[in-house]
Amino acid sequence: MQARDQRRSVLLLPPPRQFEATPLRLAAVLVPIFLRDGADWLLFTVRRGDLQAHAGQIAFPGGMREGSEDPITCALREAHEEIGVQPEEVTVLGGLPSRDSSSQIRVHVVVGRIGDPSQLRAEPREVERLLAVPWAELRQETRWQQQTPPLPPGAAALRPSPHFQVGADVIWGLTGRITFDLVNALRSEP
On average, the pLDDT of the chain sits at 91
pLDDT for the residue numbered 52? 65
Residue 169 covered by a domain: yes
Q: How confident is the model at residue 23 (pLDDT cuts 50, 70, 90)?
A: very high
CA dist 16 → 9, 154, 168 (Å): 13, 37, 33
In 3D space, the residue among 105, 117, 121, 127 whose CA is nearest the CA of residue 56 turns out to be: 127
Q: Residue 59: give the domain boundaries.
A: 3-18+38-147+161-185
- Asked whether residue 7 carries a pLDDT value surpassing 70, the answer given is yes
Of residues 152 and 172, the one with the higher pLDDT is: 172
In this structure, what CATH number is given to the domain that contains residue 165?
3.90.79.10
For residue 23, is it within any domain? no
Q: What does the pLDDT average to over 101-120? A: 92
**Percentage of the chain modeled with pLDDT above 90:** 74
Please, which pLDDT band fits residue 127 given cuts at 50, 70 and 90? confident
Mean pLDDT of 14-36: 96
Number of domains in the chain: 1
133 located within any domain: yes
Q: Examine residue 24 and state whether it is found in any structural domain, yes or no.
A: no
In a domain, 86, yes or no: yes
Please give the pLDDT value at position 50. Answer: 66
> Does residue 124 form part of some domain?
yes
Instruction: Output the pLDDT for position 102.
Output: 83
Residue type, position 14, single letter: P
Q: What is the mean pLDDT of residues 152-161?
A: 76
- Looking at the domain assignment, is residue 100 inside a domain? yes
Query: Does residue 153 fall inside a structural domain?
Result: no
**How far apart, in Å, do the first and last CA atoms of the chain sit?**
18
pLDDT greater than 80 at residue 62: yes
For residue 94, what pLDDT is reported? 97
- Contact predicate 130/43, CB 8 Å: yes
- Distance between CA atoms of residues 82 and 15, nearest Å: 21
**What mean pLDDT is predicted for residues 16-30?**
96
pLDDT of residue 137 exceeding 60, the answer is yes
